[in-house]
Amino acid sequence: MSSGGTVPDRKPLHEDLPIEMAWIEGRRIYIRCAYDSDINQRLIAMNAEWHKERGLRYVGTVRKAKVLEVLSVEIEQRRARRETEQRAVGSGLRVLVPIGLPTSFHEQATRMGAVWDSGEHLYRVPNTETRTGLRALVDTVVAEREQREREQRQRESDARRARESATTEKAVRVLAHAVQQAAEQAVQRRERALAESPHPVTGEVEYVHEVVLERLTTAQAEDRGWPLDSVQQLPDSRRGVVLTRAVWFTNAERASGSDWHPDAPDTPHWNILYTLAILDTAENPDHQPT
């Protein structure tokens, strides 16, 4: 620091070195480098001092030639890059690249001599040979990316189908279990109804289809009609125990086109289908339905 308390101006050490890496400040040369770098080891070997507060190596300006020798490789690399950039910019040759290419692509493009123009989002190249090579590299990297994306989509599709298949299998098992329970309950109701009936069964089973044209909710439709286990009289005077009862709705389109019940109207309606076990009432003809 000068006697006036001001910080001396920084001056570049070399035109091919960024001032942030090495500079002259007063009577010292400061060098910024990684601790485990070859440059740092060579500076230590030439007894360069360590500035603790700044975290930098430094030597006196009288040793400028030695410092430039230590930094010669870096200088040559940066000079070569600068010349490459000048040739690439001056050639007028450009290569457009897609967004989102990996870092490895950009590193390889730089090694090929291409210079990135962030303003136009393209590479400038020094000659047609580099342009051809870079275009081929773009095609290869894009094809690999598309292949990875296809494989990822396929894995996701396979996983989705596996989940759907597992869900379907579970639903089938649940439905089968429900159907089995319903069948067992129907058998139990039938056995109970027949056991409690004052009449023996004839072995006949009769199906009765009832059409309801009233406007009903699902709950109202399910509560309507003959209750299970009850004894009902048919139009031909036979009597039977109600074993099962199914309720469903037929909309206007199905009613007018594809309703399989021959006695069903061509307007929206509710259907109630009963299954009855016919009883032998000959021994007690006065018994009334419940």
Tell me the range of 56-65, 69-78, 173-182, 273-282 where mean pLDDT is highest.
Answer: 56-65
**Cα-based distances in Å from 60 to 1, 16, 189:** 14, 20, 107
| Phi, psi (deg, nearest 5) at residue 245 | -145, 125
C-alpha to C-alpha distance for 90 and 178, rounded to whole angstroms:
79
pLDDT score of 136 more than 90: yes
The residue ranking higher by pLDDT, 190 or 96, is 96
CA distance 156 to 158: 5
Are 57 and 51 in contact by the 8 Å Cβ rule? The answer is: yes
**Does residue 63 carry a pLDDT above 60?**
yes
Q: Which is more confident, 281 or 25?
A: 25
Cα 191 to Cα 204: distance, rounded to the nearest angstrom: 15
pLDDT of residue 41: 92
**Largest interatomic CA distance in the chain:** 134
Q: At residue 6, does pLDDT exceed 70? A: no
What's the pLDDT score for residue 74? Answer: 84
Element (H, E) at 60: strand 56-60
pLDDT in tens, 157-182: 999 988 888 888 887 787 677 768 76
pLDDT at residue 190, as a whole number: 67
**Residue 89: its H or E element:** helix 72-91
Per-residue model confidence (pLDDT) at position 7: 55
Between 255 and 279, name the one with better pLDDT: 279
Each residue of 210-229: pLDDT tens digit?
999 999 998 999 898 899 88
Q: What's the pLDDT at 111?
A: 87
The mean pLDDT of 241-255, rounded to a whole number, is 86
Indicate whether 152 pLDDT > 90: yes
Looking at residue 97, its pLDDT comes to 87
Taking only the tens place, the pLDDT of each residue in 31-49 is 998 888 889 999 999 999 9
Rg of the chain taking only CA atoms, in angstroms: 47
The percent of residues above 70 in pLDDT, for the chain, comes to: 87
Sign of the alpha-carbon dihedral angle for 29, 33, 38, 41 = positive
Torsion angle of C-alpha atoms 108, 112, 113, 115, degrees rounded to 10: -40
pLDDT at 2 over 50: no
SS3 of 169-236: the string is HHHHHHHHHHHHHHHHHHHHHHHHHHHHCCCCEEEEEEEEEEEECCCCCHHHHHHCCCCCCCEEECCC
Decide if 245 contacts 225 (C-beta within 8 A): yes
Q: Are strands 115-117 and 122-125 parallel, antiparallel or unpaired?
A: antiparallel
The rounded distance, in Å, linking the Cα atoms of 134 and 270 is: 73
Give the per-residue pLDDT at 1.
Answer: 45
Confidence of residue 3 (pLDDT cuts 50, 70, 90): very low
Average pLDDT, the chain: 83
Nearest to 210 by CA among 259, 255, 279, 264: 264
**pLDDT of res. 259:** 64
Rounded to an integer, what distance in angstroms lies between the CA atom of residue 206 and that of residue 189?
16
